[in-house]
Structure 1
Amino acid sequence: MGAARALRRDRGHRLAAGDGARLPGAARGGGTPVRDRGRAAGDGGAPLHARGGRRLVVRGPVRDGHPSPAQRAASAPLRAVSTLARATAAAVLALLALPAQAVDLAALARLAQERDAELAAARAAYHAAIERRPQAKAALLPEVGFGADASRTWLRDRSGKGSDAAYNNYRYTLSLTQPLFRRDRWIALRQADAEVARAGAELAVAEQDLLLRVAERYFAVLAARADLDFARSEKAAIAHQLAQARRRFEVGLVAVTDVREAEARHDQAVAAEIAAANALDSAVEALAEITGETHRELADAPADLPLARPEPEAMDAWVATAAERNPELEAARRALEAARAEVHRRRAGHLPTLDLVASHAYEDLNFGGIAKVKRLDSTVALQLQVPIYAGGAVVSATREAAERAAEARQRLELARRRTTRAVRDAYRGVLTAISRVEALRRAVVSAETALEATEAGFEAGTRTIVDVLNAQRDLHRARRD
């Protein structure tokens, strides 16, 4: 310590190192730290460490004891702010730690009705179709128009007998046209009504399809989540059997083939878990496609969900009800009605048309500067148009419309057959599903009993590890189903 200056202690309990104080080479080389040799009251009892080649300067007081009342008063606001910050952080962490609220099927259906793009497109198409009726009706209402023109004419005399002149002409006309007989336009009005009804039926189809899609994807997420849970449970059970097989092999109770078989089953279980996790992510994304949000926490279906049989239990009664109320069939009927109206509208191109035409005009004319005329002209007339020959366009358009009507008729028949088949399949599917659920419940009990018997046989040496793994797999599959 000869190279370092002495550390001095003043009455104010301050320690300061001299401006030229440096540590010896031993300290710079990583030797023992330099400590003060003596400690006295007010030194704080703390050793002084230094690093090689640097000055050691201790600025500010080093005190023993508690802070003064003035210091405590000055630091009180800081302590209050710090306490509030810690409380806020704790509250935020507590909220983040809470589990997300599970969403049930009804909430998803309401959300999908607001955000599903396919349903929104169907609504827009329906609102667009509604406008066809006022457009068709407008063709039967009076048409009023106003026209005006102004012109200036310059006359130059080349004979030498007259003089040059310039004059202005003005004309204002108010006209009205009222169709009296327009067969095609009246048919177009009925056709517009059929198109609006068809759009309404298609909107009902989209609404029912949305509910079906939401339910299917909701249960798809639940099924994928159950598959993942069962895959993890199966992996854990196989891992337990693998550990048990290894212990038995170490003591010579089983052959190495049992260990290898358990390892192979464990690897398969790991692969199945990975596939199940990917399937769950895909199912969640499919549901988000409809709702516009990602929902991973979904409420499970009630375990005691009643399995009601169809009422009445008559397949033909359900087929008849679907034939009357199915919106897809209604849309096909309205499409056929509109197609038939189109045939009549095209055929009406052969019929004459009759319009009432009225006009009221003001004219301010100057005939070459010779005579000025200002007058009001009012006219009422009937205009009759009789088509004689249009190059075959009307006949061709009528044939096209007739073929479109035949197409619509066949599409209606196809929709009727599909609806009948779908109703019959759904009716049989409900009855089959109820019977299957009851059978699967009994299968779970049987699989549990079989697993217990297989494990007992394995302990007794009459069954192999393969039998135990197969029994566990059968039990997990029965529970999953």
Structure 2
Amino acid sequence: MPRLPSSLVILAPALLLCAAAASAQTLPELAARALDADPAVRASSASMRAAEERLFQAKAAYGPTANLTATTNETRYREAPSGEMRPFKSDQYVVQVNQPLWRGALYPAMQAARSQLEQADSALMQARLEAQQRLAEAVLEVFKARDVLAHATALREAYGQQLAAARRSFQVGRAAAPEVREAEARVDNAVAQVLAAEAELDLRQQVLAEVAAGPTPALLARAVAAEALPPLPADSVLAWLSRAEAESPSLRQARLAVEAAEAETRKASLAHAPTVDINYNYTHSKDTGTVTSIFPRRGTSSAVGATLTIPLFASGATQSKVAETLALRDKAAGELDLARRTLVIGVRQAFVATLSALSQARALGTAERSQALSVRANQRGFEVGIKTNADVLEAQGKLFEARRDLSRARHDAWASYFRLRALAGALGEGDWQALDAQLVAHQPNEMGRARDRSGS
């Protein structure tokens, strides 16, 4: 096998770093890719295009319509009693133009189509917000699972070191056999936690790859900064509710559904109204004869007229259609109230969840530092013989739990904050840029270094 040139060997690490930097993907780029591939967004976009065509059709109903009718006939006429056969042929071309002059149902039909278009636009906005929220949750779940794995790995290593120390103490008579057995049990339990954390991280990566329309290996090289927390004033819930009331796509969609239902009701009630159309007919005909004539003919004719149509009776179908649209309007009004109540509850829940996670993160940060000091004190006590190995193991386990809960609270705060902004209709590229600015390079051994500092 040929050897690589020494210059390439020297440059290989730098080339690998350049390739990793090139493959790194920012969160705004990841969000744009996820939006392009999201099936719900594509479906909503197609629905919006269909709504645009329906509005165009409603406007086109005001314009004229033209039809061309072409008729050709071949006739064989047998004269009696002579039995003589006489064939003849006729062709006719008719152009018909119709221009509505007054149709009361056209305007509410156009209003309904316009409301449906705006409703489809709101549905598209809602689909985009939900897609971004799913991506944010998937990204943060990956970060959370990775931190749990790092904590479990650090705890396993710490338990392993403590097991080795317990065995040395047992050999010199400073520790009893139950302490060694307890340390072994803690190591076995930590190994099981590492395996479970690895499986959870693999699952979360698969979910993220599905949501983001592809694998995101470069994302694992980044992490949310330890001090980064979402900005949320404690007294701003009313401001969030007001913003959601004004900008929420789901609530706007429900309002537009009511407007469309009211327009459909007006359209149905105007089915009783008379209509007036202007008609124009142009006819060109020619034939080689008729039954009563042997002479060919050719000619044109044109006619202009007005048609007045007055609906008299439709077997109750018109009244039934009006009653149906009234029921659908009431249904839309009820769904609007439900959407408003659901939005208010969702905003309040997301706000409280974000605030609670922020408070937990700040409190757990203090608890983590205190627990690290406790581990250090127990290890020093074990070294001088005033603490048992079980005390050290218990302190290390509590430190692991504090760090795990701190990571969960920090990431839950960001997830709830993104959900709150999505409910308020405010989630967008700026939020992704803000979160991306809080990402730092992930240090795989950070937990181990923290453990070493706590036990030094």
Inter-CA distance 394–88: structure 2 relative to 1 (3 Å threshold): farther
The corresponding residue for 1:188 is: 109
- Contact 2:262 2:329 (C-alpha < 8 Å) held by counterparts: yes
| Among candidates 350, 359, 374, match of residue 298 of structure 2 | 374
Amino acid at match of 2:168: R
1:386 aligned onto 2:310: yes
1:100 aligned onto 2:20: yes
- Please list the CA deviations of residues 29-82 of structure 1 after superposition, one character each: whole Å capped at 9, or x if unmatched: xxxxxxxxxxxxxxxxxxxxxxxxxxxxxxxxxxxxxxxxxxxxxxxxxxxxx6
1:301 aligned onto 2:224: yes
Question: Alpha-carbon deviation of 1:122?
Answer: 2.1
Amino acid at match of 2:179: D
The corresponding residue for 1:474 is: 398
| Among candidates 194, 197, 202, match of residue 273 of structure 1 | 194
Q: Which moved more, 1:405-414 or 1:366-375?
A: 366-375
Q: Secondary structure at the match of 2:223?
A: coil
Q: Which runs of 5+ in 1 are unaligned?
A: 1-81
The corresponding residue for 2:429 is: none
| Among candidates 146, 155, 160, match of residue 239 of structure 1 | 160
Q: Which moved more, 1:392-401 or 1:424-433?
A: 424-433
Question: Alpha-carbon deviation of 1:233?
Answer: 0.4
Amino acid at match of 1:458: F
- Contact 1:332 1:412 (C-alpha < 8 Å) held by counterparts: yes
Q: Which runs of 5+ in 2 are unaligned?
A: 407-456
Inter-CA distance 86–315: structure 2 relative to 1 (3 Å threshold): closer
| Among candidates 67, 76, 88, match of residue 167 of structure 1 | 88
Q: When you count helix as a share of all residues, which structure comes out higher?
A: 2
| Among candidates 387, 400, 419, match of residue 343 of structure 2 | 419
Distance, in Å, in 2 between the alignment partners of 1:284 and 1:337 is: 43
Inter-CA distance 159–88: structure 2 relative to 1 (3 Å threshold): farther
Distance, in Å, in 1 between the alignment partners of 2:66 and 2:84 is: 43
Q: Secondary structure at the match of 1:168?
A: strand
Question: Alpha-carbon deviation of 1:452?
Answer: 1.9
Distance, in Å, in 2 between the alignment partners of 1:194 and 1:269 is: 59
The corresponding residue for 1:321 is: 243
| Among candidates 334, 353, 360, match of residue 282 of structure 2 | 360
- Please list the CA deviations of residues 147-190 of structure 1 after superposition, one character each: whole Å capped at 9, or x if unmatched: 11111111112312x73311111101111011222222221111
- Please list the CA deviations of residues 205-228 of structure 1 after superposition, one character each: whole Å capped at 9, or x if unmatched: 122222222222111111111111
Q: Secondary structure at the match of 1:183?
A: coil
Distance, in Å, in 1 between the alignment partners of 2:209 and 2:94 is: 61
The corresponding residue for 1:66 is: none
- Contact 2:275 2:309 (C-alpha < 8 Å) held by counterparts: yes
- Contact 2:44 2:124 (C-alpha < 8 Å) held by counterparts: yes
Relative to the length of structure 1, the TM-score reads 0.77
The corresponding residue for 1:249 is: 170
Structure with the larger RCO, 1 or 2 (CA within 8 Å, 6+ apart): 2
Distance, in Å, in 1 between the alignment partners of 2:303 and 2:104 is: 26
Distance, in Å, in 1 between the alignment partners of 2:128 and 2:63 is: 36
Tell me how many residue pairs correspond in the alignment. 399
Inter-CA distance 424–228: structure 2 relative to 1 (3 Å threshold): same
- Please list the CA deviations of residues 431-472 of structure 1 after superposition, one character each: whole Å capped at 9, or x if unmatched: 333322221111111101111222233334443322221210
1:176 aligned onto 2:106: no
- Contact 2:229 2:358 (C-alpha < 8 Å) held by counterparts: no
Amino acid at match of 1:115: A
The corresponding residue for 1:44 is: none
1:335 aligned onto 2:335: no
Amino acid at match of 2:346: A
- Contact 1:119 1:207 (C-alpha < 8 Å) held by counterparts: yes
Question: Alpha-carbon deviation of 1:92?
Answer: 7.3
The corresponding residue for 2:382 is: 458
* Structure 1 segments of 4+ aligned residues over 4 angstroms from their partners: 82-99
Q: Secondary structure at the match of 1:206?
A: helix
Distance, in Å, in 2 between the alignment partners of 1:362 and 1:134 is: 33
Distance, in Å, in 2 between the alignment partners of 1:242 and 1:99 is: 42
1:310 aligned onto 2:233: yes
| Aligned positions of 1:2-41 closer than 5 A | none
The corresponding residue for 1:143 is: 65
Q: Secondary structure at the match of 1:387?
A: coil
Question: Alpha-carbon deviation of 1:90?
Answer: 8.5
